[in-house]
Amino acid sequence: MQKEHNLSKNQKIIFDLIDKSGGPMKAYSILFNVQKKGIKAPLQVYRALGKLVEIGKIHKIESRNAFIACQNSSCQVSKATAFSICESCENVSEISNSKLSKYLSNFSDNSGMKYSKYNLEFFGLCKKCKSK
């Protein structure tokens, strides 16, 4: 059962934009796109992004400095994320594989460290780009 988060005005504008885009978006591209809605400054964008990441509605693709809407309805928080990234067309998908997530969530080694979160990024060529 997913907690309902009542998004604020700016959070909703920015989430809707990212979600509808269907892919990763960069902060300043978001800013450009929401200026007509009254969001004029980078900080307004970064604050909304920060909150949306915190509650798991979006994730940051670290290697690309970009943000993508969560494609996995059960992702309440951004604490166990995996993505596949095409190095040619830059298409990104969230990987939703229960074996993988179990394996990583349960991973431990002899470092004495307790892992509470992970982020995994796979790179390669997508189907389309491979066949070119």
Angle between helical axes of 42-54 and 27-34 (0-180°, round to 10) = 120
B/e letters for 77-92, b = 16+ CB within 10 Å, e = fewer, are ebebbbbebbeeeebb
Subset of 51-70 contacting DNA (CB under 7 A): 51, 65
Subset of 21-40 contacting DNA (CB under 7 A): 26-29, 38-40
Q: Which of 1, 20, 111, 132 binds its own copies (CB under 8 A)?
A: 111
12: how many CB neighbours lie within 10 A of its CB?
13
Q: Which residues contact 36 (CB under 8 A, 6 or more apart)?
A: none
> Under the criterion CB under 7 A, does residue 76 sit at the interface with DNA?
no
The site for its own copies (CB under 8 A) is made up of: 62-63, 84, 86-87, 93, 95, 97, 100, 103-104, 107, 109, 111-127, 130
The site for Zn ion (CB under 5 A) is made up of: 70, 72, 75, 86, 88-89, 91, 126, 129
